[in-house]
Amino acid sequence: MNKKSAIQFEARIITANMLVSGNVLYLDEKRCWDENIANAQIIKNDEDLARLNNMSQDAVMNSIIVGPYVMPVECHSAGLQPVSKRELIRASGPTIPTGFPEKGKPNV
């Protein structure tokens, strides 16, 4: 997560977990589910919210995601950052370095 810079504005995005892996996902600007919060689609208004919620429910029905919900973010010059500590940890990964590589990735 980038060092916090000045807040430009506050917004909301939609997040969920992937059904198969449990990975954290964000609904992105291409209407896809992306692991990078930087690509998340910002909810602009109530119409946007309704449309994105419908898309989320479709993804639930199609067994792609689990438990979608709206989460607040802050928009910085460096990009989107979660407001809550919980979401910051979800977005950044475990707070304790394990010293072990991810499956299929070298340990650096």
Minimal distance, residue 57 CB to another protein, in Å: 12
Residue count, binding to another protein (CB under 8 A): 23
- 2, 31, 44, 67: which one binds another protein (CB under 8 A): 67
Q: Amino acid identity, residue 69?
A: Y
When the beta carbons of 62 and 77 are compared against another protein, the nearer one is 62
Q: Tally Cβ neighbours within 10 Å of residue 61.
A: 9
- Give 3-state DSSP helix, strand, coil % of the chain, rounded to 5: 25, 35, 40
By CB under 8 A, residue 103 contacts another protein: yes
- 63, 69, 85, 106: which one binds another protein (CB under 8 A): 63
Q: How far apart are CA 68 and CA 74, in angstroms?
A: 19
Stretch of 1-9, 25-33, 49-57, 60-68 contacting another protein, by CB under 8 A: 60-68
End-to-end CA distance of the chain: 18
Our CA angle for 4, 85, 26, nearest 5°, is 85
What are the residues binding another protein (CB under 8 A)?
17, 19-24, 60-63, 66-67, 86, 89-90, 93-94, 98, 100-103
